[in-house]
Amino acid sequence: MCGIVGYTGHREAEPILLNGLGRLEYRGYDSAGVATVTGSTLVVRKAAGRLANLAAALERHPAPGTCGVSHTRWATHGAATDGNAHPHTSFDGSVAVVHNGVIENYSDLKRQMQEQGIVFRSQTDTEVIAHLIAQNLEDDLVEAVAKALPLLKGTYGLGVVSPRFPRLIVGARLGSPLVLGLGEKETFLASDPSALIGYTQRVIYLDDRQLCVLRPSGHEVLHRDRTTSAAEVRNLDWEPEDAEKGSFDHFMLKEIYEQPEVLERAMAGRCDDEEGTAHFGGLNLDAQQLRQIDRVIFTACGTSFHAGLLGEYLFEQFARMPVEVEYASEFRYRNSPIDRNSIVIGITQSGETADTLAALRESKRKGQRTLAICNVVGSSIAREADGGVYLHAGPEIGVASTKAFTAQVAVLTLLALYFGRMRHLSYAAGRRILDELRAMPDILRQTLRCHDEVAAIARKYASADNMLYLGRQYLYPMALEGALKLKEISYVHAEGYPAAEMKHGPIALIDENTPSVFLAPQGAIYDKTMSNLEEIKARGGPVIAIAGPDDHLMASRADDVITIPAVPDYLQPLVAAIPLQLLAYHIALVRGCDIDKPRNLAKSVTVE
């Protein structure tokens, strides 16, 4: 959500801060700002709206200095105005603060400070933090931050600078991610490692209740009691070109086209032909412990939740295990009866999703084994789960997830195979699944050839204000995912349903202005799906069909057909994802929407 970038070193901070914020634009924001320290002067520049507005303000009035912090805000308190943008300064100008998270007791703190005569200049919860630090500021900025933290209830990722300590940045974390970047005679602070691409590949991820002290000469990681904490230095495996659009007009389109290679990376080193199974190095559970598991609970949010629904089908088919899929935001507050032979698996792209992290923490508190399926090495969820599997999808910049979803589905397929082979699945069946999976990257490359066909269909239906997405079995979660993609980036109201459920209510919406997208390649219940399609056509509703090759019956029934390659039922979601993503992309393009940065959305939702 909100983005933090900090720098202290031998270079001018302003261009580094701006460039880092540019890397974080995908997270979603409504305003931006920087604070730099030059000599004994604190320079603050802020602007509502896009980062370009801040850049223009800095062109007119630069922010000199070799130390500073910056921020892009996703509103939790107060409208998108210059005054509510971060950084926020203290009453005496001695402190500037950038903050991700929510301070739940800020109203009480604000009232107490107002009674002391402090005048507030914003409607944010963050401003109280700056005042608290300034009230404790004497000869040590670290001490002042440490004294303020116990007074805060809620979550925070903080970056703090002061003109009294002109080369120093203090960071603190509780529930909102922070990462340190280590360079030569310079150090960096960020809320997301993507902000550091091109500057350093050596990073440290802060844990909750830790502080960090950054100087050009080095860093310290401290516990809240100010004792030194050992911190593991990790290497980022992302390259600068990973965060560039290249020849594509949008990150989302680039990431759609990266899916064949992402699928290859997700499977690399995990296919065991000799045993007809998959292999994972980070589960941290031995074979005996894994065989004791007789129930799986997937917990996730958004697109990751849809991947979990597919995981349910896969585990039931391959491993014959009972599976539940829970929205993390609901699961964390329920007191579900879970026996000791269950495992809770959190699915997340960023590894920082607040609800999913809280759900896993609650599960661990109750003694459950936990695993994470995650894209970001060193993220909070990856570190706190008992074990896990990385997606290796590379940085996903577009807010609407595409390639990470494909990697999640691939990993879930391999996990289902792994659990299946430990139970009843035969060696021959395991080898067949591995061979079919290995063929998928090339099949996805073939599928991408539908691009022009999908673009033409999108132009035809881009004026629609409502759409239905319908599928059955493995393609029901894809109907949900297709509808979500359209909502996210084109702002068209869309709903996904099991095709047979359409007649139990949604059919009332059908008219000539409400297109239905049918996911109907040939498969086990193709005839049933065709019957549902006929019900739509009988009521005058336009039908866009995603169908298999040489489907003459579908061609005679649907208004428009997008052809995808024929694959086994359990692999159809991987193939169907591409036309669904492209359809949403091109409808959004025709409607003039900001595809990579859709309104009101954030890539990594780190508040509840």
pLDDT in tens, 363-377: 988 888 999 999 988
2, 212, 301, 450: the active-site residue: 2
**Confidence check: pLDDT of 230 > 80:** no
Tokens 């909102």 identify what position?
176
**Hey, what are 75's tokens?**
């509103």
Instruction: Clarify whether 603 is annotated catalytic.
Output: yes
| pLDDT confidence tier of residue 333, bands split at 50, 70 and 90 | confident
**Structural domain boundaries in the chain:** 3-242, 248-438, 446-595+600-604
Instruction: Give the Å distances, CA to CA, from 68 to 17, 37, 138, 142, 414.
Output: 8, 6, 20, 16, 45
Question: Mean pLDDT, to the nearest integer, of 91-96?
Answer: 94
Sheet holding 202-205, edge to edge: 41-48, 31-38, 67-73, 3-8, 187-190, 179-182, 202-205, 234-235
- Which of these ranges, 2-6, 61-65, 236-240, has the smallest mean pLDDT? 236-240
Checking 178-184 for CB contacts under 8 A at 24+ apart, the result is 178/4, 178/205, 178/206, 178/212, 179/203, 179/204, 179/205, 179/206, 179/378, 180/204, 180/205, 180/206, 180/212, 180/214, 180/219, 180/221, 180/231, 182/219, 182/233, 183/9
Question: Mean pLDDT, to the nearest integer, of 324-337?
Answer: 87
pTM for the whole structure: 0.82
| pLDDT confidence tier of residue 27, bands split at 50, 70 and 90 | low
Position 606 scores a pLDDT of 54
Cα separation of the two ends of the chain: 11
User: pLDDT by residue (tens digit) across 28-80?
Assistant: 688 999 999 998 899 999 999 989 999 999 999 999 999 999 999 877 788 88
Nearest alpha-carbon partner for 423 in 326, 296, 305, 298: 296
User: pLDDT by residue (tens digit) across 241-295?
Assistant: 666 788 899 999 999 999 999 999 999 999 999 999 999 988 888 888 888 899 9
User: pLDDT by residue (tens digit) across 379-397?
Assistant: 888 888 999 999 999 888 8
| pLDDT confidence tier of residue 160, bands split at 50, 70 and 90 | very high
Element (H, E) at 96: strand 96-100
Report the 3 state secondary structure along 126-151. CHHHHHHHHHHCCCCHHHHHHHHHHH
Same fold, 3-242 and 248-438: no
* Second CATH level (architecture) for the domain 446-595+600-604: 3-Layer(aba) Sandwich (3.40)
Determine if residue 162 is left, alpha or beta; phi over 0 gives left, psi from -120 to 50 gives alpha, anything else beta. Answer: beta
Question: Mean pLDDT, to the nearest integer, of 186-195?
Answer: 92
User: pLDDT by residue (tens digit) across 442-460?
Assistant: 999 999 999 999 999 999 9
With a CB cutoff of 8 Å and minimum separation 6, the contacts of 88 are 96, 97, 98, 99, 122, 124, 126, 127, 129, 130
Secondary-structure class of domain 3-242 per CATH? alpha beta
The average confidence (pLDDT) of the chain is: 91
46, 485, 597, 603: the active-site residue: 603
Position 509 scores a pLDDT of 82
Query: Which listed CATH number (3.40.50.150, 3.40.50.300, 3.30.1490.20, 3.40.50.10490) goes with 248-438?
Result: 3.40.50.10490
CB 554 within 8 A of CB 547: yes
Beta-bridge partners for 369: 343
| pLDDT confidence tier of residue 327, bands split at 50, 70 and 90 | very high
Determine if residue 65 is left, alpha or beta; phi over 0 gives left, psi from -120 to 50 gives alpha, anything else beta. Answer: left
Nearest alpha-carbon partner for 539 in 509, 500, 519, 518: 509
**Confidence check: pLDDT of 225 > 80:** no
| pLDDT confidence tier of residue 506, bands split at 50, 70 and 90 | confident
Position 278 scores a pLDDT of 95
